[in-house]
Structure 1
Amino acid sequence: MTISGSDVTVENVVRRVAARHRGERGALLPVLHAVQAELGHVPQEAIPVLADEFNLSRADVHGVVTFYHDFRREPAGRTTVRICRAEACQSLGANSLVSYAREAGLALGETTADGAVTVEQVFCLGNCALGPAVEVNGRLHGRVGPAKLGAILNGAVS
């Protein structure tokens, strides 16, 4: 696979990132995070390369990628909305945000067909005192209710 029309392939990116972590104990997770940071997701083509780099089975690598919710197997939308579902946010109304997103046709962990929005759940954004918390493209929002989430999803708040 060629990325963005250049000669940079998924394999080259994965091998370069893995080389930076060679010799470290437990390097698979940092490498997966670095691959996702560079490519925007961990593509299926990366699995056999990672398995080769770490002398693991493809099933082992696939298991790690699918176990941790932070790893995307498909590119995220232009806007990524992460709803906190940890206890403090849950007690302050995070379920209403999840319900609102679902009613708006946005399933957790999925990207809209037009590639505009990805809605994800996370289990702590570290903003417990201002819950429920939502992160939009890396920017933290506190005390988010359904109306504010609607504004965020409609692009009124960046």
Structure 2
Amino acid sequence: MKKYICVLFVMLYCFGCKRDSKFDENNRGSIAFTPVLRDKIENFISYADSVWGKKEKEEFYTFFMHKRNDKEILFLGTSFFYKKKRIKGYAFLNGRLVVYYGNSSGQEQDLVNVAKLIQFVDTIPGYRSDACIDMDYQVLKREYVICDKDSLSLIYSGFY
């Protein structure tokens, strides 16, 4: 009887670990992004789904920060291939891939915790890299002025 209880305990423990890691993988953006960034990305995903309908698995989302006219800008966009040399990390938010290309301005934003992103090694299974750009596609994008870590102001929404 003790043997069966031990086996049952081990199975339940392993099931719990597996369940937690899957949740973490599919929602890693929930811990890597500030609430305002997470909300903007989720809203952008809904917006993209409403424009095109829910896309195939290979479509994903990218974001990065840069400086334009003395303002810090957050770029969100759709993509079908990732740029290997630019990836600073990636996450899944509600099961959707979100790739972070970094902050070219070097200004501290506090919008994303890079240490909590999945570190890119060589490939993202199931998604195309920049080695496979032999396709015609349009990019849907949104740009925000970064006011602070809790405030983003929309300045553009549409096609790139």
Say whether the fold is shared (TM-score over 0.5): no
Task: Using structure 1 for the length normalisation, give the TM-score.
Answer: 0.26
Task: Using structure 2 for the length normalisation, give the TM-score.
Answer: 0.26
